[in-house]
Amino acid sequence: MTQAATTPALHRTAGRLSDGREIFWYDAEPGRVAGVDERGLPEVHTVSEIRYDELLDEWVAIASHRQTRTFQPSGGADQCPLCPSIPGRQTEVPTPDYETVVFENRFPSFSGGVGRCEVVCFTDDHAGRFGGLPPERVRLVVDALADRTAELGLLPGVEQVFPFENRGAEIGVTLAHPHGQIYGYPFVTPRTRQQLESARRYRARTRGDLYADVLDRERTAGTRVVAESAHWTAFVPVAARWPVEVHLYPHRGAKDLPELTAAERTDLAEIWLDVLARLELFHGRPLPYIAAWHQAPVRQDRDLARLHLELFSILRSPDKIKYLAGSESGMGVFVNDTTPEDVAARLRDLGA
3-state secondary structure 227-281: EECCCEEEECCCCCCCCEEEEEEECCCCCCHHHCCHHHHHHHHHHHHHHHHHHHH
Q: Which fold has domain 2-185?
A: HIT family, subunit A (3.30.428)
Cβ-proximal residues to 284 (8 Å cutoff; 6+ apart), any chain: 318
2-185 and 209-350: same fold? yes
Query: Cα–Cα distance between 26 and 12 in angstroms, integer?
Result: 5
pLDDT tens sequence across 103-156: 999 988 887 678 999 999 999 999 999 999 999 999 999 999 999 999 999 999
Q: Which one is catalytic: 11, 177, 179, 283?
A: 179
Per-residue confidence at 66, pLDDT binned at 50, 70, 90? Answer: low
Query: Cα–Cα distance between 188 and 168 in angstroms, integer?
Result: 27
CA 318 from chain centre, in angstroms, equals: 24
CA 96 from chain centre, in angstroms, equals: 26
Do the beta carbons of residue 103 and residue 116 sit within 8 Å? no
Res 71: pLDDT: 53
Q: Could you state, in order of their start, the residue ranges of all structural domains in the chain?
A: 2-185, 209-350
Query: Cα–Cα distance between 255 and 158 in angstroms, integer?
Result: 16
Question: Is 179 designated active site?
Answer: yes
Res 248: pLDDT: 98
Res 65: pLDDT: 60
| Class of 209-350 in CATH | alpha beta
User: What percent of the chain lies above the pLDDT cut of 90?
Assistant: 84
Res 6: pLDDT: 47
Number of neighbours of residue 55 by Cβ within 10 angstroms: 5
Least trusted range by pLDDT, from 43-57, 248-262, 265-279: 43-57
pTM score: 0.93
pLDDT tens sequence across 81-93: 999 999 999 999 9
To 10 degrees, what angle do helices 210-221 and 190-206 make?
A: 80
Res 3: pLDDT: 37
